[in-house]
């Protein structure tokens, strides 16, 4: 049997808060000049994958990144708030060093992949995984049997969406790294399980060729 569906999870380009190491969460921070260049460069590479649909978080940094691919492909960009980054409550806007001053233990557990820790008193990784999976599965209806869906989202949201769709046990979610700005990961559809459930395999992870290398920082 030939290729089935693919999902390309693409993290947004760099922002000033990324550069400063601030936890953005759902704060609506735009791309900076580096991020705009990253998005344009990566979009040319992703266009070669032949995407058939694009869906993005409704936050500005994700939408602007998605529009770079829309320019290359002529596809429209759908938006879904279910693809937003983690709502990090009181952590939003703070650097990780600032968060450690007041919430060292909680942050350490969260960074280690503990799915039950509410970031800044708000969303847990499980909360984010449930809503991102729902958004992705809804958008898959637009790609057909062999199409490629590009999901433009955020580092933390993508990480848990991958873990959820791959069916990783919760205790292993911390083994999956996040994505650098404007890098992507690819899930490839496998043959259905005996019960007909959709199954995925990880084809690429944190792939990309960037003009401005940056470290992996969630949020």
Q: Which residues are catalytic?
A: 12, 85
CA distance 5 to 24: 31
- Buried/exposed 95-121: b ≥16 CB within 10 Å, e otherwise: eeeebeeebeebbeebeebbbebbbbe
**C-beta separation of 12 from 65 below 8 A:** yes
Name the residue among 23, 132, 24, 28 with its Cα closest to residue 83: 132
Name the residue among 131, 27, 26, 10 with its Cα closest to residue 70: 10
């Amino acid at each position: 049997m030939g290729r089935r569906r693919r999902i390309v999870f693409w993290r947004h380009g760099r922002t000033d808060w990324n550069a400063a190491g601030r936890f953005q969460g759902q704060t609506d921070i735009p791309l900076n000049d580096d991020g705009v260049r990253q998005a344009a460069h990566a979009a040319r590479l992703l266009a070669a994958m032949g995407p058939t649909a694009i869906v993005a978080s409704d936050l500005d940094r994700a939408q602007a990144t998605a529009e770079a691919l829309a320019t290359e492909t002529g596809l429209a960009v759908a938006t879904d708030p279910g693809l937003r980054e983690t709502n990090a409550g009181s952590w939003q806007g703070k650097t990780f060093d600032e968060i450690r001053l007041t919430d060292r233990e909680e942050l350490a557990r969260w960074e280690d992949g503990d799915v039950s820790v509410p970031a800044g008193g708000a969303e847990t990784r499980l909360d984010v995984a449930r809503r991102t999976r729902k958004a992705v599965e809804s958008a898959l209806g637009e790609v057909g049997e062999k199409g490629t869906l590009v999901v433009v989202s955020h580092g933390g949201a993508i990480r848990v969406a991958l873990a959820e769709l791959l069916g990783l046990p919760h205790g292993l979610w911390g083994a999956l790294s996040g994505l650098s700005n404007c890098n992507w990961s690819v899930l490839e559809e496998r043959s259905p399980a005996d019960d007909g459930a959709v199954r995925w395999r990880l084809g690429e992870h944190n792939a990309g060729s960037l003009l401005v290398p940056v470290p992996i920082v969630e949020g």
